[in-house]
Amino acid sequence: MTRIARLLIAGRGEIARRIMRTAREMGIATVAVYAEPDADAPFVREADQAVSLRGTTSQETYLDIEKIIAAARRTEADAVHPGYGFLAENAGFARAVVDAGLTWVGPRAEAIATMGDKLAAKKLMTEANVPTLPSVRVARSVTKEVRKRAAKVGYPLLVKAASGGGGKGMRVVSDEAGLADAVSGARREAAAAFGDDTVFLERFLAGARHVEVQVFGDSHGNIVHCFERECSIQRRHQKIIEESPSPAVDDDLRRRLGEAAVEAARAVGYDNAGTVEFMLDKDGSFYFLEMNTRLQVEHPVTEEITGLDLVREQIKVAEGAPLSFRQEELRMDGHAIEARIYAEDPANDFLPATGRLIAWRPDPALPARFESGVEAGSEVSPYFDPMLAKVIVHGRDRSEAASRLATVLERLQMPGIVSNRDFLVNVLRHDAFIAADTTTDFIERHSPARERDVSEEQLRAAALAAALASQRARRAKARALATIPSGWRNNPSAMQQVRYLHRDEEVLTQYLRKGDGAFTYEVAGHSGEARVLRSEDGWTELEIDGVQQRLSVVSQGADHWVQSPAGEVRLVELPRFPERERERTAGGYLAPMPGRIVSVKVSAGQQVTAGEVLVIVEAMKMEHVITCAEDGIVTEVRVVADEQVEAGHVLLVVDTGKDES
């Protein structure tokens, strides 16, 4: 047997930290590799050694095989774990690792190559009597023959990247007219994310469930399954909530899914952790989608219900040991649900967000498993996937797990970054989710609220807490009379006043201290009495109109994030005096987020129509298409392909012939 002493992890973020945790427990030293934007990331500091890959983009760093092999040699690592994403399902990388005399913590390169060619994999599955969906490979361009074959597959269909996953390089196409643009867009995303722009077409099942089976093999011929996970809650074809077991799978279906997954793994001689993905139709029939020849993002839910450490099993199998468990020994205990927290704005079509995370404080009173790539002070850059963390909760049953996970998310303090946290809570508390009506079109069918519903009482409490915190901060910095209580005035009738913006609504907040911590207040037209009960460790306990509440305020400039047990409220303090209005460009189209200009589809002087594509911007390995809102003429184009832009940058100007004054 091989003994791994030093493990290089060819990934970043939360999965790198996850692998390091198990490696440390096994007495294995760890090596991280990193791109320049990740130089201060937690996974870099937590590794025993970290090697800079001398670059900024994925192509320059995490997708550069030669740089990673060189890093392994330089640090005398004797094994490589690919994590997921980037090169995790690249057979050439697996071969390069083995050829360099290193141990590859993953399946054989031959298995990766076979299952990585998703069309060849489908053919192999058909021969193994595993049901599949019709599909077709796309040549370098969408030819007449491709259109003809696409029609045979049937619309709607999916354009999918042949390598990788995670929703990258994927498009739904409803008719032939959108095929060419969908293919070109999917190619670009696939190349940026996986270094391979190969795509194919596949029949799209509307209203189905995404159910996958965790499989594990070893070099001794053992192959088992570790039950199923349901991953149907998705946006942009990317999973955001996963659970195990699936509420749609009974014992008989679980047996059939498990048998099919094991047959799929056996057909390719599989020998490490992998996942066989299926689409489960309304009538209970299921179809093979693909096999992910790596550890999945959502592997913790399987660990929570089985008690396994899948990373430990991966390492032991790579060392040559047989699996530590047999199929008949596995049992499911309770229910586990995972939610992925992304730096994105659900209210703005889930566009990626960037910025600095001011604080990261899970509530210690609520048991939950956090797999995070960030901490207080972490910068979220536009270069890589915007996932910040995964939060996993295990409960006795599904209802308990969902309720507890929603509460954990509500009480998590993470000011500074726009995220999907409140949207996840709204999904978990949605009646349809609780009723297990979870299909891949859940978000489109049920439209969970994109933002938190903040009651008037909650808004009043947040405004008062922010105002009091600001006063305390100002008094603490005062050079004179610092011992006078904040809000003290010679004229006892003068109320303190501050104006906040909550979303698009102004919130006028006024208060007057009465002594002993008590004060009268008026917020958004509502008057009452309140009292500060205590203030410590960043938390303030207020009694507002006879109701006690515990709140924490984190401030940065004019921004205030107020956390309560019910969730977070963000308030923007308005200036006391009017500011000069920012210059606006009439007819200007702005960059919705920081990113790279992929292509400019129009030129100055060109006539454009509503719905026409103007510019394509890439951020965090996803593309955003900016379309024309109204017919007009392009008068200015201010960007070029490959240019890096900040959010709000004017990309181009369209004259609609209307008076903008």
pLDDT tens digits for range 472-483: 877 666 555 555
What would the mean pLDDT of 163-168 be, rounded to a whole number?
65
What would the mean pLDDT of 324-342 be, rounded to a whole number?
98
pLDDT band at 146 (very low <50, low <70, confident <90, very high): confident
The pLDDT score that the predictor gives to residue 620 is: 64
pLDDT surpasses 80 at 64: yes
Residues known to be catalytic:
294
The pLDDT score that the predictor gives to residue 493 is: 59
The pLDDT score that the predictor gives to residue 488 is: 47
Distances (CA, A) of 94 to 75, 80, 81, 321: 19, 9, 10, 19
User: CA-to-CA distance for 426 and 449, rounded, in angstroms?
Assistant: 6
Q: Where are the beta strands (DSSP E) in 148-187?
A: 157-161, 170-173
CATH architecture for the domain at 588-655: Beta Barrel (2.40)
pLDDT tens, residue by residue, 19-45: 999 999 999 999 999 999 999 999 999
Give which of 116, 61, 84 is closest to 9, Cα–Cα. 84
> Which carries the bigger pLDDT value, residue 623 or residue 579?
623
Beta bridge partners of 539: 536, 552
Q: For the domain 334-452, what is the CATH superfamily, name and number? A: ATP-grasp fold, B domain (3.30.470.20)
The pLDDT score that the predictor gives to residue 168 is: 74
What pTM, to 2 d.p., does this model score?
0.85
On average, the pLDDT of the chain sits at: 91
Q: Which part of the chain is CATH 3.30.1490.20? A: 134-203
Tell the CATH topology of 134-203.
Answer: Dna Ligase; domain 1 (3.30.1490)
Token match 């005096």: residue? 577
Q: Which part of the chain is CATH 2.40.50.100? A: 588-655
Token match 């599989």: residue? 270
CATH architecture for the domain at 456-573: 2-Layer Sandwich (3.30)
Q: Which residues contact 513 (CB under 8 A, 6 or more apart)?
A: 485, 487, 488, 519
Q: Which part of the chain is CATH 3.40.50.20? A: 6-105
Lowest mean pLDDT among 132-141, 170-179, 599-608, 648-657: 132-141
What would the mean pLDDT of 460-464 be, rounded to a whole number?
96
Is CATH 3.40.50.150 correct for 208-327?
no
Token match 């799209």: residue? 204
Q: Which part of the chain is CATH 3.30.470.20? A: 208-327, 334-452
User: CA-to-CA distance for 336 and 95, rounded, in angstroms?
Assistant: 36
pLDDT surpasses 70 at 163: no
CATH of domain 6-105: 3.40.50.20
Backbone φ and ψ of 73, nearest 5°: -65, -45
Q: Return the biggest CA–CA distance within the chain.
A: 88
Most confident of 112-116, 161-165, 230-234: 230-234
Tokens of 472: 């305390």
Q: Which residues contact 396 (CB under 8 A, 6 or more apart)?
A: 334, 335
